[in-house]
Amino acid sequence: MTATTQLNPSVREMRESDLTRIILIEREIFLFPWSPANFADSIQSGYLCRVMEDNNAILGYSIMMIGPDEAHILTLGINPRWQNKGLGRKLLNYLFELARENNAKSMLLDVRESNHGAAKLYKQLGFEQIATRKGYYPAMCGREDALVMRLML
Ligand SMILES: CC(C)(COP(=O)(O)OP(=O)(O)OC[C@H]1O[C@@H](n2cnc3c(N)ncnc32)[C@H](O)[C@@H]1OP(=O)(O)O)[C@@H](O)C(=O)NCCC(=O)NCCS
């Protein structure tokens, strides 16, 4: 049995009381993590902030903004303990449905050029690269480009 079959993940709205635990994951998985204030502002702004959990453990989280016709994934992370078990794909499929329910016709996201694992997952799910933002991200040595990817919903 794989670890995914032992899990029974569900997705719910993110709460400010989740942020202490989310920040611990965020700091493990991103070299340039969001601050607690970035997450709190996203919740207060009414962005679609979600947590994937099982048995009170946070497996992953995402923040999505809905504009006219378009959804933007602002951040997405899976707890390192549970990466590569299909949870990122599951959370993205949940977000596709949520975006459709909110009348989005397409979904956009930015990914670091060096983040081959994430970009591979997005391509598997049908995202296509539509642009590059030069020097969009801070990096250890200067700046790094972002690939802008889009999925038609
Ligand atoms: C990227 C991330 C969200 C993917 O979630 P996940 O649960 O680990 O991924 P899944 O198990 O659903 O992966 C499905 C596919 O993604 C790809 N993938 C995911 N991580 C990968 C890695 N480290 N290396 C190569 N491919 C990877 C594979 O193609 C995999 O499909 P396969 O098993 O058929 O080969 C997660 O690894 C993560 O949080 N990473 C750190 C933060 C991050 O990069 N967030 C995205 C910012 S844009």
Give all strands (DSSP E) within 55-113, no chain letters: 57-66, 70-78, 106-112
Q: What is the Å distance from ligand 1's center to 116 Cα? A: 9
Q: What is the Å distance from ligand 1's center to 24 Cα? A: 19
Domains of the chain, first to last = 11-152 (3.40.630.30)
Whether residue 143 contacts residue 128, with contact meaning beta carbons closer than 8 Å, is answered with no
pLDDT of 4 > 90? The answer is no
Model confidence band, residue 1 (pLDDT cutoffs 50, 70, 90): very low
Ligand 1, pocket residues at CB < 6 Å: 29, 76-78, 83-89, 111, 115, 117-118, 120-121, 124
Q: What is the Å distance from ligand 1's center to 87 Cα? A: 9
pTM here is 0.95
Write b or e for each residue in 61-76: b if 16 or more Cβ atoms lie within 10 A of its Cβ, otherwise e.
bbbbbbeeebbbbbbb
